[in-house]
Structure 1
Amino acid sequence: MRIHFIAIGGSTMHNLALALHDKGYQVSGSDDVIFEPSKSRLQKAGILPEAFGWYPEKIVPELDAIVLGMHAKPDNPELLKAKELELPVFSYPEFLYQQSEHKTRVVIGGSHGKTTITSMILHVLNYWDKEVDYMVGAQLQGFDRMVHLTAENDFILLEGDEYLSSPIDPRPKFHLYKPNIALLSGIAWDHINVFPTFENYREQFEGFLQAIVPGGSITYNEEDAEVRDMVESLQAAVRKFPYKTPQYSLKDGKTYLETPEGPLPLHIFGKHNLSNLAGAKWICQQMGVDELEFYEAIASFKGASKRLEVLGQGNSSIAFKDFAHSPSKVAATTRAVREQFPDKKLIACLELHTYSSLNHTFLKEYRGSLDAADEALVFYVPESLEIKGLPAVLPDDIKSAFSNKGLKIFTSGTELETFLFGKEFEDSVLLFMSSGNYGGLNMKALADTLP
């Protein structure tokens, strides 16, 4: 097959392109900008576009399909040419479904935890040399690619994102996968630029459950009230498997999972990660891995990329970087670090990096999310709102929303850097939470100075 990618440089898009190239497809693509590591990976495979930009002449009748990425616009010249030629145009979730139509599709959904749960499952399957196809939203330790497709594997494991499928397809990605085996980890309002009310956001997860094929299964977090009520009221011919946070203990800064064979030391920590582990165990059992095999494999799992990564460590202090930025993730991550290091001072630094997080309506969702920290800092760039023509957010608005009297607000990367490099971090944990870079702050250099 000949496949052309419009916006080939995206994180998942370039991984899908590489997976199809490995599968023997003829792959081409275009993009107006491609960053690393996408650029080098595409170049090594010989499918990096010769020049950046959009070239309608690349769209020819001989193409079997077009895969359209979110980075493209609805009036993209290549897309318009494809429509003119009446070529089949797919979003990447549509194309993944087409590639997996005759496989057992395992889809991990939820506002939080889905990348970690997917990563745990892949780690366990890889440990036992069980081959599966997959698509995951983060680079995993021990895996070269985020997408792997074959003709022969029976299972495909998919991270089910609730965000839009493409610029011309407003359906959530996870509505398109039609899972045989599904998991729902939690529901906490997110993506308010697309889902302006919680009710609207919640409806997307109802659609996900309705998409499970008859006779399939839903594994769900019974400790999340929204999830529990939604699944238990589901009138569909599917099996229901609830899970909850397993018993665990802390000793000398180490988390131990209670198992039938006794306490099992883990690399990961935090109640939310133990809950994720419980969900992953149920899915692995449905994929042919028994409980004891799961425990043996999960002991060596060190976490998903960008999730509580250690930036640096001294004799008495440690620094973490986490991708958390939505309110529920910020609260869970902060509480997890507090629980893991009860005797150290916890300094939590959150960057409000997305336009959703700086929305006046949404800001109140952050109330109490940093309360587990001894010292809480919030960084944001007011000018980014001006550039977009959005309503201004003042430091007092943020203090009011978080309802944290000691909260420190920074609006300049230079000021934040001066403050942090001037602090004493003896017996401390420094926690950075963001999908951004705090205005260019060199977090690694700061972590390297920890005592």
Structure 2
Amino acid sequence: MQIHFIAIGGSAMHNLALALEHKGYTITGSDDVVFEPSRSRLAEKELLPESFGWFPEKIHAGLDAIVLGMHAKADNPELLKAQELGLTIYSYPEFLYEQSKDKTRVVIGGSHGKTTITSMILHVLDYHNKDVDYMVGAQLEGFDRMVHLTEENDFIVLEGDEYLSSPIDRRPKFHLYKPNIALLSGIAWDHINVFPTFDDYTAQFGIFVDRIVNGGSITYNADDETVKEIVEASENTIRKFPYNTPEYTVENGQTLLETPEGPMPIAIFGKHNLSNLAGAKWICQNMGVDEADFYEAIATFKGASKRMEKLAENATSVLYKDFAHSPSKVAATTKAVKEQYPDRKLLACLELHTYSSFDPQFLREYKGALDAADVAVVFYLPESVAIKKLAAVTPAQISEAFQKDDLKIFTDAASFHAFVMEGDYKDTSILLMSSGNYGGLDLDQVKARLYD
């Protein structure tokens, strides 16, 4: 097949392009900008566009299909040409479904934890040499790509994102996968630019549950009241398997998971990650991995990329970076680090970076999110707010939202960087949280501080 990608440089899009090239398809693509690591990875397989921009002449009747990425606009010249020619146009999730409609589809959904749970499942299956197709939102150690597609594998494991499918398909991605086996990890309001109310947002998860195929199953986090309510209210003819956070202890900075064979040390920590582990265990068991084999494999799991990533450690201090940015994730991550190192001062720095985090109504969701920190910092750039064409956000609004009296707020990169670099880090856990880059903070210099 000959497939053309409109907006080939995206994180998900370029991985799908690489997967199809590996499968033997002929791949072409366009984009107006391609950043690393997509750029180098596409170039290695000679898939990087020779020139950046949109070129309608690349679209012709010989193409079997178009895959359209979210980065493109509805008036994209290549898209308009494809529509004019009557070519088959797929969104990213539509194409994945077409590739997997004859497989058993395992879909991991939820506002938080889905990347980690998907990563855990793939780690366990890989550990036991069980081959599956997959799509996951983080680069995994030992895996070449985030997307893997074959003709022969029976299972495909998909991370089920609730964001929109394409510029011309406003359905959430996970509505298109029609799972045989599904999981819901938790629900906390997100993507306010698309789902302006909590009810709008939660309704999408109800649709997800209702689109599980008849006779399929949903494994769900019964500790999350919203998830529990949605799943148990569904009249879909599916099996429902609740799970809860397992018992665990923390001793001298080491998390011990309670198992039938006794306490087992694991590399990950935090109540939210133990909950993720419980969900992953049930899914793996549904896929033919018994409990003892799961525990053996999960003991070697070190975490998904950008999730609770340990950057540096000395005898008395540790530095973590985490992708957390939504209120529930920030609260869970901050509490987890404090629980893991209760006798150390916790410095937690959060960069506000997303559309939702600058919305005055949504900001209120951050109340208490940094309460577990001994020193709590919020950093944001007013120009980031302006770029998103939103009303200015003031430090007073930030302070009122978080409801933490000693909250430190920085609105310029130089002052924030100086604060981070000049701190006394003896007996300290340092936690940096953002989906951005902290205003260009040099993380190598921060790491070096721990080794001074």
> TM range, normalised to the smaller chain?
over 0.9
**Aligned pair 1:94/2:94, yes or no?**
yes
**Aligned pair 1:161/2:151, yes or no?**
no
Distance 2:387 2:216 in 1: 47
Distance 1:51 1:381 in 2: 32
Name the counterpart of 2:8: 8
Kept in 2: contact 1:165–1:173 (CA 8 A): yes
Distance 1:363 1:26 in 2: 46
After TM superposition, the score normalised by the length of structure 2 is 0.99
Name the counterpart of 1:191: 191
Name the counterpart of 1:384: 384
Tell me the SS of whatever aligns to 2:449: coil
The amino acid that maps onto 1:216 is G
Kept in 2: contact 1:318–1:447 (CA 8 A): no
Name the counterpart of 1:258: 258
Shift of 1:213: 0.3
Shift of 1:385: 2.1
The amino acid that maps onto 1:199 is D
Kept in 2: contact 1:70–1:167 (CA 8 A): yes
Kept in 2: contact 1:218–1:241 (CA 8 A): yes
**Aligned pair 1:306/2:306, yes or no?**
yes
Kept in 2: contact 1:312–1:444 (CA 8 A): no
Tell me the SS of whatever aligns to 2:450: coil
Show CA shifts across 1:115-161 (max 9, x none): 00000000000000000000000101111100000000000000000
Distance 1:389 1:232 in 2: 40
Tell me the SS of whatever aligns to 1:449: helix
Distance 1:347 1:174 in 2: 36
Show CA shifts across 1:220-265 (max 9, x none): 0000000001111111110000000001111111001111111110
Distance 2:403 2:87 in 1: 53
Name the counterpart of 1:427: 427
Q: Summarize the Cα distance change of 1:265–1:388 in structure 2 as closer, same or farther, 3 Å threshold.
A: closer
Name the counterpart of 1:200: 200
**Aligned pair 1:179/2:216, yes or no?**
no
Distance 1:382 1:198 in 2: 26
Distance 1:371 1:443 in 2: 25
Kept in 1: contact 2:366–2:401 (CA 8 A): yes
Name the counterpart of 1:241: 241
Name the counterpart of 1:349: 349
Count of residue pairs the alignment pairs up: 451
Moved more, 208-217 or 30-39: 30-39
Name the counterpart of 1:334: 334
Unpaired runs of at least 5, structure 2: none
Shift of 1:390: 1.7
Moved more, 438-447 or 55-64: 438-447
Distance 2:158 2:387 in 1: 36
Shift of 1:447: 2.2
Shift of 1:387: 3.8
Name the counterpart of 1:441: 441
Kept in 1: contact 2:417–2:441 (CA 8 A): yes
Shift of 1:39: 1.2
Tell me the SS of whatever aligns to 1:346: strand
Distance 2:390 2:44 in 1: 41
Name the counterpart of 1:18: 18
Show CA shifts across 1:167-196 (max 9, x none): 110000000000000000000000001100
Distance 2:403 2:239 in 1: 42
Show CA shifts across 1:192-227 (max 9, x none): 011000000001101100110000000000000000
Show CA shifts across 1:379-400 (max 9, x none): 0011222344321111011000
Distance 1:445 1:167 in 2: 40
RMSD of the TM alignment (CA)?
Answer: 0.8
Kept in 1: contact 2:3–2:65 (CA 8 A): yes
The amino acid that maps onto 1:421 is M
**Aligned pair 1:364/2:356, yes or no?**
no
Distance 2:384 2:46 in 1: 37
Distance 1:421 1:39 in 2: 32
Kept in 2: contact 1:247–1:257 (CA 8 A): yes
Distance 1:447 1:66 in 2: 44
Moved more, 38-47 or 244-253: 38-47
Kept in 1: contact 2:107–2:177 (CA 8 A): yes
The amino acid that maps onto 1:83 is Q
Name the counterpart of 2:400: 400
Name the counterpart of 1:137: 137
Identity across the alignment (%): 69
Distance 2:58 2:388 in 1: 33
Name the counterpart of 2:284: 284
Show CA shifts across 1:335-369 (max 9, x none): 00010000000000000011210110000000000
Distance 1:383 1:150 in 2: 45
Kept in 2: contact 1:313–1:448 (CA 8 A): no
Kept in 1: contact 2:379–2:409 (CA 8 A): yes
Distance 2:242 2:262 in 1: 23
Kept in 1: contact 2:256–2:266 (CA 8 A): yes
The amino acid that maps onto 2:283 is I
Moved more, 32-41 or 60-69: 32-41
Kept in 1: contact 2:355–2:388 (CA 8 A): no
Moved more, 216-225 or 352-361: 352-361
Tell me the SS of whatever aligns to 1:448: helix
Unpaired runs of at least 5, structure 1: none
Show CA shifts across 1:47-89 (max 9, x none): 2211111111110101000000011010000000000000000
Distance 2:261 2:129 in 1: 23
Tell me the SS of whatever aligns to 2:209: helix
Distance 1:421 1:139 in 2: 29
